[in-house]
Structure formats: C-alpha cells, structure tokens
Amino acid sequence: MGRNCVEIFDFWCNDRESNDPYGTEFKVRVCSNGEDNYGESEEEYVGTGSWMCGIEEVRNFVGQLDEMNHLQGKHAEIKDVSYGGRLCFDLDRMGHVQVSGTLFGVYGIQSLKFEFTGDQTALGPFLDGLRECLRG
C-alpha cells in the first residue's frame, strides 16, 4: 500500500496575541505514493512548501479539524498568504479524509498539486501536533 502523509513542521509565530497576517510561518511536507490497479507502487511525489498566515487562521484550521475529528464538520482549509498555497481536508460519511491542495516552492517558482485519501483516525495525532505548535 502506498504511503500518504502531510506534515507541518518548523512552526514559528512572531506574536501569538496579535493576528499579523504574515506573523506565522511553517513548512508543509506532502508525500503521495500512488498504486496502480494491481497493487504495484507507482511514482512517489514528495514536496515541501513554506507557509505564511496569521495565527488566527491556524487556530481556525485547528477548530475545523477538531470538528471533523468529532464528526461535526466535513471540511477544513488553510491558505498561505504569500504564494497562494492551500491545504484542504474533506471528510465523507465513511470516515475517509480526502487531503488535497497546492504547495509552492522557493519564490513560488515550483508548485505541487496533490490529492490523496486517508482515514479519520489520523486526524487525532495530526491535531495533537498542531496544538503543540500553537502552545509554543
């Protein structure tokens, strides 16, 4: 089975009290390894993009993910204000989470569009990591 993951790391916040729209920076790494219909692994796509937004956007994203984790919400999204990247999570009735978005490389020259399906059980550990970032 292919390996699909999204990771947020190198989290930095200038001021957790103000909502400076450029005051929070982090990196997003995505790995999407597809498989063909015969279970054989195809190419693996990996990308890392720098992200910039306000701390309130991160808090809203965590709130949306928390609602999804408790089956009260179906969509969570966060956008990068520097180059326009997006990271979206969509939950269906069966507990499958569709992860999609666009990452941009240095100076927005390269981009990576991605989409893969995960399981709702992965939301808890992902949320725990984001909450730890918010606590600083």
The CATH number given to 4-135 is 3.30.2450
Residue with token string 């195809």 = 42
Q: Are 86 and 77 in contact (CB under 8 A)?
A: yes
The pLDDT, as a whole number, for residue 44 is 75
Amino acid identity of 77? E
- Each residue of 63-97: pLDDT tens digit? 999 999 998 999 999 999 999 999 999 999 998 99
Q: Domain limits of the chain?
A: 4-135
Q: What is the mean pLDDT of residues 117-135?
A: 92
Check: CB of residue 103 under 8 Å from CB of residue 47: yes
